[in-house]
């Protein structure tokens, strides 16, 4: 039996209900895909944010340490 013949046996309100359920299913599927996409985008943005945090370079840390030592030596001499 073809799909059209089958549909002709169903009453219109049942067809409307089937159509409504199919649309709800499509919307829920799309919502699930969107939330997965949004979640993936959020994770990527979080990784970018973490990688963009400016960290002090090692040479600058060393220079600051040397400057502090020099200052303490100068103060000790004074």
The reported pLDDT for the residue numbered 68 is 92
pTM (global) more than 0.75: no
Q: What's the whole-number average pLDDT of the chain? A: 80
- Residue bearing tokens 């340490």: 65
What pLDDT does residue 9 have?
63
31-40 pLDDT, tens digit per residue, is 777 777 778 8
Q: Please state the rounded mean pLDDT for residues 26-49.
A: 81
Total length of the chain:
78
The answer to whether 15 and 7 are in contact (CB under 8 A) is yes
1-27 residues labelled b (16+ CB within 10 A) or e (exposed): eeeeeeeeeeeeeeeeeeeeeeeeeee
């Amino acid at each position: 039996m073809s799909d059209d013949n089958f549909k002709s046996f169903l009453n219109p309100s049942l067809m409307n209900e089937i159509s409504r359920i199919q649309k709800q299913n499509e919307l829920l599927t799309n919502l699930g895909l969107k939330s997965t996409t949004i979640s993936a985008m959020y994770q990527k943005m979080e990784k970018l944010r973490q990688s963009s945090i400016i960290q002090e370079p090692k040479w600058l840390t060393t220079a600051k340490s040397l400057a502090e030592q020099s200052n303490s030596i100068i103060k000790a001499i004074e």
